[in-house]
Amino acid sequence: MFLQQLVNGIVLGSTYALIALGYTMVYGIIELINFAHGEIYMFGAFIGMILVTVYQVPFFIAFFLAMALASLLGITVEYLAYRPLRRSTRLAALISAIGASIFLQNLALLIMGSRPYSFPSPFVSKIYKTSFVTISKVEVIILIVSFLLMLGLTFLIQKTKIGIAMRATAQDKDTASLMGININKVITATFAVGSALGAAAGVMVGIYFRSVTPMMGLMPGLKGFVAAVLGGIGSIPGAMLGGLLLGVAEVMGAAYISSQYRDAVAFMILIVVLLFKPSGLIGSSLQEKV
């Protein structure tokens, strides 16, 4: 049973990690908690669902299209809600982020209504059973895809030109721009990549739980934020670790403490981390953030 719960926790945690990456990348670059990120995740899931059910697009194409369209949405949100406030106080941008989140949530409610929509699984459901652990095909796919996306992101950040530009911008925006880096371009790219990862998580959660609703971004959005803070906001490996830890902690809390306090466990962890290690598990307070 312990192993099974561990697997449950890791699957859940890998989706948190993908969401947390979006928070942490944006924070690393412009020190803004992008509260609209949970809604981008939700839009990603809706786009995927609509492409698959209405337009009959093959799932893997729909998956990448959802990531691309959610990137555009992320870029638009940055352009309309955050860019005009870049030189104002951080609180103004934060409030703008909360506003963007509420706006997107209600936009989805207006367009889609409040009922949940069914997201048919593109895979033949199959269960792999060993003597200790049962895991379904969807779960295996979620684990593999999350792993590949995180690997891809690490490569992007470490090896590519835009990744180096992102790291430079995160360290010192002004110096980076003196070195000829186009800051606006870097910020746009950051939102694009973060939103794409969020959308990927949204689509995978959609097929995992077979449904999408306009409210689905709320809790995972908060949990993704908690995971990012847990790992050390601004740190990419931190977000991955924080997501996995949070998922496992939540599942273990539900299994061994009480299922009533499942969400409480997540937020308790946040409070404890903030009290004892405000910079997070991996995060460093002043040095490089991405």
Summarize as ranges the residues that interact with other proteins (CB under 8 A). Answer: 1, 4-5, 8-9, 11-12, 33, 90-91, 94, 98, 101-102, 105-106, 109-110, 114-116, 118, 125, 127, 129, 134, 136, 138, 205, 209-211, 213, 215-216, 218-219, 222, 225, 229, 250-252, 254-255, 258-260, 262-263, 270-271, 274, 278-279, 285-286
Phi, psi of 98 (to 5 degrees): -65, -40
Nearer to other proteins, 179 or 274 (CB): 274
Nearer to other proteins, 180 or 260 (CB): 260
Q: In which residue are the tokens 């929509």 written? A: 117
8 Å CB contact between 101 and 35: yes
Residue 11: CB minimum distance to other proteins, A: 8
Residue 23: CB minimum distance to other proteins, A: 11
- Pick from 231, 227, 228: nearest CA to 250: 227
Nearer to other proteins, 152 or 278 (CB): 278
Nearer to other proteins, 49 or 65 (CB): 49
- CA atoms of 290 and 252, how far apart (whole Å): 30
Residue 98: CB minimum distance to other proteins, A: 7
Residue 28: CB minimum distance to other proteins, A: 13
8 Å CB contact between 6 and 224: no
Phi, psi of 3 (to 5 degrees): -60, -45
8 Å CB contact between 226 and 70: no
The structure tokens listed for 229 are 């803070």
**Is the sign of the CA dihedral 262, 268, 270, 272 positive or negative?**
negative
Residue 25: CB minimum distance to other proteins, A: 17
Nearer to other proteins, 20 or 153 (CB): 20
